[in-house]
Structures are given as C-alpha cells and as structure tokens.
A and B are shown apart, each in its own frame.
Chain A
Amino acid sequence: NAGVTQTPKFQVLKTGQSMTLQCAQDMNHEYMSWYRQDPGMGLRLIHYSVGAGITDQGEVPNGYNVSRSTTEDFPLRLLSAAPSQTSVYFCASRVDGYNSPLHFGNGTRLTVT
C-alpha cells in the first residue's frame, strides 16, 4: 500500500529552469494538495484540487501551475524557477470532508541556485 508517492526526493535547479514535481496516490482520494515548508513558517498551501479537472489556488500560488487529469495524479509545475522557491514541497491527499485527515508524501527538497 504505497499511499502518497512523490518524486524526485531531491532536486537542484538553476534560476530560470523549469521542472515538474510528481505526486501520485493510490487511495482513490478526491482531494489533493501541495504545500511548501519553510523554516519558521509551517506549511503553506500552494494549490489544491477537489477532484479530476478541478483545481484552485491556495495561499502562495504565484510561480506554480497544477493540473488534475486523473484522480491519482497531481503534478506541480515550476515554469521558471527562482531562488525564493527553494523549499521542501509536500503533496497530501484525503477523502472528502472537513473531518478527514491529510495523508502526506515524504516530500521533495528543491534547491534553486
């Protein structure tokens, strides 16, 4: 039972490069989300999706794009990386409902030089 799988675990980019962080879940969860974790700031929501074909912005969406073509996958795209995007990125999913806990992947550590 894999849960939420994120790839890659580590990535180094140069300023201006683009890349996609992958996230897949095998629990048939409708809700999926991306957070970034920075020291002293907790986790901040980037984008989220309540089902295939539906996405919305979170607290810090600028510089990131998402799409949700299937229930299982929710990739996060950085179109032109900036040093301010150096962070640890977490994908999380849950069943519908505000009482349901989030299930997290193990994160992607991204460094932009």
Chain B
Amino acid sequence: GNSVTQMEGPVTLSEEAFLTINCTYTATGYPSLFWYVQYPGEGLQLLLKATKADDKGSNKGFEATYRKETTSFHLEKGSVQVSDSAVYFCALTSMDSSYKLIFGSGTRLLVRP
C-alpha cells in the first residue's frame, strides 16, 4: 500500500542553520509529492510540490527533489529563521481513482534565535 515515513522530531536548530527533514515513501505508480506546513493553531498550507521524477519543488527558500531511485522527497532550507518554526508534513497522492492525499506523521521544527 501507499505510505509516507518522516524523520521524528522535534528538530531544534539555531537561526541561519541548514535544515534537512527526511521523507521517504512507498507507492504504486508515480504519485505526486507534497510538503505542507502547519503553524500553531492553523490548518495545513501547501509549501511545495513535485509531480514527476527529478522535479524540484521550491518555495520561500525551501526545496525538495523527487527522487524515484531512492523513493525520497527530503525538505531542505539553507538558512532557517525563527518564523520557520512549525510542523512539516510530507504527503503523496494515491494513484487509485480517488487520488487521496496520504500524510506522514509530521516533523516539528523549532528554530531558536
């Protein structure tokens, strides 16, 4: 079946540090991959997406590359800010007729000044 595995948090970094949040997936077919971000007290917001192998999604300084050979979609940012503190979710679209979105368990990021 389809599933998404994320690194456990929390991840604690100092401001301007480099960020990597690992995400691997299991899926049939060629799913689309997403990163969502959830700020405290809010719903999830789309951060970036990639729809085919070797695509790179990017937004607000965050990047992730769709790696089919390693079934991974790791999230990276070169220099984090305090305002990046949030929970990050990796997700994929199931390729059955429902196109359901399947989420990982989320990784909390805390950036200290």
Contact = CB atoms under 8 A, between A and B. Distances in A.
Q: Do A and B come from one complex?
A: yes
Given A40-B105, A48-B98, A105 B34 contact: no
Given A42-B106, A106-B43, A99 B100 contact: no
B99 A90 contact: no
A97 to B, nearest CB: 7
Contact of A50 (B31, B41, B46, B98): B98
A45 B92 CA distance: 13
B101 interface: yes
Nearest to B95: A98
B49 A99 contact: yes
A44 to B, nearest CB: 8
Interface string A13-40: 0000000000000000001010100001
A43 interface: yes
A98 B93 contact: yes
A97 B51 CA distance: 12
A41 interface: yes
B50 to A, nearest CB: 10
A4 to B, nearest CB: 7
A104 B43 contact: yes
A45 B100 contact: yes
B35 to A, nearest CB: 10
A43 B43 contact: no
Contacts of A48: 98, 100
Interface of B: 4, 31-32, 34, 36, 41-46, 49, 51, 89, 93, 95, 98-106
Given A97-B99, A98-B95, 19 more contacts: A41-B105, A42-B103, A43-B103, A44-B103, A45-B100, A48-B98, A50-B98, A58-B100, A90-B44, A92-B101, A98-B32, A99-B49, A99-B93, A102-B36, A102-B44, A104-B43, A106-B42, A106-B43, A107-B42
